Amino acid sequence: MTEAPPWTGAAKALADKVTADAPAWHEAVSNTPRHRLVPRWWQRIPDSPTQEWALVDLPEDSPERLHAAYSDETLVTRVGPTHADHATPGEHGKGDPTSSSTLPGLIVSMAHRLDVKPGHKVLDVGTGSGYSAGLFARRFGDDNVTSVDVDPYLVEAARTRLAEFGRTPRVEAIDATGDLPDSEYDRIMATVSVRPVPASWLRALRPGGRLVTTIAHTALLITADMGTDGIASGTVQPDPATFMETRQEADYPAKLNDVFVTARVREGDDVRPPDGPVPDLWQEWPLRWLFELDTPGVETRAATYPDDGRRVVWLLAADGSWARAEDGASPVVHQGGPRRLWDDLERVRRKWEEKNRFSLHTMRAELSPEGSYLLSPDDTWRFPI
């Protein structure tokens, strides 16, 4: 009798953990060798002032590699323009992640929500390492799965590695915000975030079809079902999820460091006390996501002054608008540039409070090729997405 390879026990243990609420996926997780799809990855160097990453390159069947590959954790495979496959020993990656193998528990949770039935045609947006495509293909058959990614190398690597253990879904290098490989799908799942929701997805989704995606720069996970009228209706799910947004270039646009230099200490054109407490946008994340929905593209930063413990929050925009809010004994807000970003944040907070600070998962989604929106529970606050 042939002895099972070392990874199978680790994969089964992962399946036991992540499919407790989705048992139909246990077999696929148990039999998909994630370690072969992610041979090398980047690991963040703690407290690195320039956001550097160390390369992790371990022998294929080493206990350390199997432990990492079959843990319910995201493995970052690409940092800035550099994939871990192309890094040299000892090289450090620099910048933000631009591709990863998403934590398996989140993939299973989203796939469970997608509710794929036998014979359904599935579009997997964001191939990455190929892990989600491998799970779909294992469970529903290679011919029913198409996976797309903007990065030709990711596509070629995933296609080759999947084929090495017998999985041959269709994998294509395209910009998924544009035309898709086929005109009709029963299910679409995106492990990249989007805004706007691409019209091509909604045109391709068959009546009765389902879409699961996240909205860029938020943790809002949306599930929507396509009606016969061409409108997909759904809701924000109660559990948040974050993904890298779709990109067209090798890397994401640079952060707004030039605006931050201005905002960091400069006296504002408008200086006033804040209207209420200075929020901690990393703890008050519903307010942060509502602000992003209302006033998209604002970069947020925060710090604590070491001498007296005062908190400071910065809002930065590409048009040069900025705000700096400091709490403490005499809270103050400085604003500059063409827009008053802190005024916008306070306007969103007031409106949310007027609506009794509704839970974001009570929002409805209406998605169509002509325009997509999230709506407040009373339908009076509409956010284009």
Region 293-298: mean pLDDT is 97
Handedness of CA 169, 174, 177, 180 (dihedral sign): negative
Nearest to 85 by CA among 61, 53, 49, 57: 57
Cα–Cα separations (whole angstroms), residue 327 to 28, 55, 355: 51, 40, 26
Q: What is the pLDDT of residues 97-133, one digit of tens each?
A: 999 999 999 999 999 999 999 999 999 999 999 999 9
Q: What is the pLDDT of residues 127-160, one digit of tens each?
A: 999 999 999 999 999 999 999 999 999 999 999 9
Report the C-alpha gap between 223 and 57 in whole angstroms.
37
pTM, two decimals, is 0.95
Q: What is the pLDDT of residue 378?
A: 96
Q: What is the pLDDT of residue 65?
A: 96
**CA distance between the termini of the chain:** 56
Nearest to 300 by CA among 272, 332, 278: 278
Q: Report the percent of the chain where pLDDT is more than 90.
A: 91
| Residue 275, pLDDT above cutoff 70 | yes
DSSP output for 300-362: EEEEE-TTT--EEEEEE-TTS-EEEEE-SSS-EEEEESSS-HHHHHHHHHHHHHHTTT--GGG
| Active-site hit among 48, 62, 71, 99 | 99
Q: What is the pLDDT of residue 125?
A: 98
Length of the chain measured in residues = 385
Express the helix, strand and coil content of the chain in percent, nearest 5 each: 30, 30, 45
99 is catalytic: yes
Nearest to 104 by CA among 28, 24, 214: 28
- Which two tokens mark 102? 């998403």
Q: What is the pLDDT of residue 2?
A: 66
Report the C-alpha gap between 260 and 203 in whole angstroms.
40
Q: How confident is the model at residue 305 (pLDDT cuts 50, 70, 90)?
A: confident
Average pLDDT, the chain: 96
| Residue 23, pLDDT above cutoff 80 | yes
Q: What is the pLDDT of residue 307?
A: 82
Q: How confident is the model at residue 250 (pLDDT cuts 50, 70, 90)?
A: confident
DSSP output for 70-90: TSSS-EEEEETTEEGGGPPTT
Region 51-56: mean pLDDT is 94
Q: What is the pLDDT of residue 3?
A: 75
Nearest to 38 by CA among 68, 7, 15: 68
Q: How confident is the model at residue 1 (pLDDT cuts 50, 70, 90)?
A: low
Angle of CA points 21, 25, 27, to nearest 5°:
130
Region 196-207: mean pLDDT is 98
Report the C-alpha gap between 183 and 228 in whole angstroms.
16
Q: What is the pLDDT of residue 118?
A: 96
